[in-house]
Structure 1
Amino acid sequence: MAAWPNPALPLLLVAALLTFEDWLTTPSCSGGPPAAHASGDLRAMMVADLMLLGSDASYADRFFRDHIMSKFFANSIQTLKPDMMVVLGDISAKGSMVMEHKWISVIEQFEGILGRYTSLPLHIALGDKDVGTCATLEGKFVHRRAKHLPGLDSSGCGAFEISNVTFVSLNAVALLCGNNALRFGVEKFMERENHHFQSERVNEAEYYPLGCEKRESFTDISWRQNSMKSGSGPVILLHFPLHKFDGEVTGVPTFSEAIVSDYSSLSSSSKQSGASGRSPYDRLHTLPANSTQYILQALKPRIIFNAHAGSFSDFVHADGTQEVTVPAMTWKTRGVPGFVIATFDAKGAVTLRCCYLAQEWHVIMGYLSFLCLTALAVRWSH
């Protein structure tokens, strides 16, 4: 094997590759450099739709996408210094179709991507790719998924508090599903949270319910007078967006540059299957109007975070409730991977920053260009 004419050249090439990867995986965020982390503030990194495959991951996933994503998470956490991380559903690309041991392998894959940052407080909500659609949604199956995720009860909902900010995570998939028993359970969970906030109880045994009881029907939920002020409730975490009512005065929703084409004219006949990405029809899913009304009226959310749509948006409901859709953190939806940094200050204000990773074809072209330059450097050195 021929020796390198210049012994320093391999070191220079390695240094150049590391510099290139660092630049490539540094997040591009709105709002300029991150503000100083004030005492008492809580900074949360909101990600969604990771679409991991666990033990079924391909060679490209394991040795290319996971490698880049791991460096992206590391650079993002080092740069933005979040206090916690939230995954808003669909951590798996096909979790609803695999055995429990493969579901565990998805979680292990994510832990591998996070690397040394697995100690960061983490909450993972359930999405439709994790537990299935209404046709197959079943309580025991959801429990087998939820028991491996921190902070979720057997129905896939949960509540927790960190740095004096209260979060309520709802199984949004169940709320889509008519008379499904899980839906009644989630509605009962919301009723208990409504009672908790109105009574201002802090008993931990009551605040962390072990399960959700079945109700006879949605109409049985008491639409009692709510003494809570608008925006005084918890931060709501969902996978699906809320229903948008006709005539709502909302201001102008904002979207990322990576927004996909308008699917509003598509019908259910255009639905396509497959775990490699979402169909246009799937992007139209929103919670029913009655579930939306109860979330807004009973819980008086401080702010709502959801996913599923694939791109970022910031929407304000008629009652003033802000709803933020977090972009997908995957290239499999053919968009630009991204996340949202939400900073909650002691006065109740929430500041948002949306951050993006490069498009996959930019990454591939960057590596190919680097390989070409390396080949030319080697040739010239001889």
Structure 2
Amino acid sequence: MFSSLWLVWCSNFFHFINLFSQRPVGLSWSRLALALLDMGKLLAASHRSHPCTLISPFVFFMQAWADDVRRFRKMFKYPVSTELVVIVGNHDIGFHYEMTTYKVHRFEKVFNFTSGKLITRKGINFVLVNSVAMEGDGCAVCRTSEAKLVALSHKLNCSQQKPNHSNERCSDVEKLPASEPILLQHYPLYRKSDAECSGEDSAPPGEKNIPFKEKYDVLSQEASQKLLWWFHPRLILSGHTHSACEVLHAGKIPEISVPSFSWRNRNNPSFIMGSITPTDFSLQKCFLPYESRVFTIYCAAGALLVILILAHCQLLTPPFYFAQRLISKHKAV
């Protein structure tokens, strides 16, 4: 018998990590500071449920690497009992044309990430995919990444006694829990657009029918079919598009793309909390407060505080005396 594994899956939270070194145009320092403060509090609040695994599909490191990592560790504090897993994305190592072996190794060293790595917890298999390296052009990083995934696929299929894997081929293979794996990756699998996506955190109506570009917005059809064929996953968790979407691949394999966990990109960020067993899973979406409402509350509270301070210092004439003075002046005239 296996107990369930609790996890948190959030995307793009660390778009904010780098903002202190390069503030986006149009984003004031006051708004940025409040956003960082509140996002940090909200992330810390999710820890109170004591998840076993905290997973982020990607971070946002593009400037001074050491400074960004330092800020990451300072902001992303979590209990010792919680395991942190960070999935590499295009903001960490660049898009495919920017990706280098140096950038990949730099990320792996800091976050102990390896493309094609298997994490098994409580009988549950998680496959970490470097989706940036699924370009299919035979580059050095791509070849290495795909070779690891193929080897891992063989191990998992042998452990599950797939029909196309004979006992002879699996005799010298390390046996893993027979649970079908869960894929964790940055890019979603191929889909034409977000037209079929629904929910309040999905893409705006005006953007849903915009076609996705393969190998940029989503994985290519070829790469997507490879992952499905290699692993036969029971669940796929992804990010990247900044909007939520739930789709079924081959009519039975669910993929959930989480929206950006950042007020910089949307007014209503969300993340996923889940309970997973070797044979089942239950996921719940958690929403952050609307940014517009939060700032309305801050502004109202600030205005009230100013009024109270002025009244306390007798710099603000009470409305009753102000009206009485106006009436007296009118009678005198």
TM-score, with length taken from structure 2? 0.77
Q: 2:39 aligns with which of 61, 66, 69?
A: 69
**1:343-358 correspondence to structure 2 within 5 Å:** 343-346=275-278, 348-358=279-289
Q: Quote the offset at 1:322 in angstroms.
A: 0.9
**1:1-382 correspondence to structure 2 within 5 Å:** 40-50=3-13, 51=15, 52-53=17-18, 56=21, 59-60=29-30, 63-78=33-48, 80-89=49-58, 91-92=59-60, 95=61, 97-98=62-63, 102-117=64-79, 120-150=82-112, 152-153=113-114, 156-176=115-135, 178-200=137-159, 225=164, 232-244=179-191, 253-257=197-201, 259-263=203-207, 285-346=217-278, 348-381=279-312, 382=314
Runs of 4+ in 1 over 4 A off after TM superposition: 57-62, 264-267, 280-284
Q: Quote the offset at 1:345 in angstroms.
A: 2.7
In 2, distance between residues paired with 1:372 and 1:167?
Answer: 50
User: Counterpart of 1:40 in 2: which secondary structure?
Assistant: coil
Q: Quote the offset at 1:136 in angstroms.
A: 1.8
In 1, distance between residues paired with 2:74 and 2:30?
Answer: 16
Cα deviation 1:73-113 (Å, max 9, x = unaligned): 122221x3311100101x11xx3x43xxx223323323222
AA partner of residue 83 (structure 1): C
Q: Quote the offset at 1:260 in angstroms.
A: 2.6
AA partner of residue 50 (structure 2): K
Q: 1:366 to 1:324 in 2, by over 3 A?
A: same
Structure 2, unaligned runs of 5 or more = 24-28, 167-177, 315-333
**Seq. identity, %:** 20
Aligned length: 291
User: Counterpart of 1:115 in 2: which secondary structure?
Assistant: coil
Q: Quote the offset at 1:281 in angstroms.
A: 6.9
Q: Quote the offset at 1:376 in angstroms.
A: 2.0
Q: 1:39 to 1:65 in 2, by over 3 A?
A: farther
Asked whether the 8 Å contact 2:271–2:286 carries over to 1, the reply is yes
In 1, distance between residues paired with 2:252 and 2:308?
Answer: 59
In 2, distance between residues paired with 1:172 and 1:76?
Answer: 27
Asked whether the 8 Å contact 1:331–1:360 carries over to 2, the reply is yes
Structure 1, unaligned runs of 5 or more = 1-37, 202-223, 247-251, 268-279
Q: 1:262 to 1:181 in 2, by over 3 A?
A: farther
Give the corresponding residue for 1:34.
none
Asked whether the 8 Å contact 1:232–1:301 carries over to 2, the reply is no
Q: Quote the offset at 1:186 in angstroms.
A: 1.9
Asked whether the 8 Å contact 1:66–1:113 carries over to 2, the reply is no
Cα deviation 1:210-263 (Å, max 9, x = unaligned): xxxxxxxxxxxxxx9368xxx9521100101101389xxxxx644334533443
Asked whether the 8 Å contact 2:96–2:135 carries over to 1, the reply is yes
RMSD: 3.1
User: Counterpart of 2:111 in 1: which secondary structure?
Assistant: coil
Give the corresponding residue for 2:317.
none
TM-score, with length taken from structure 1? 0.68
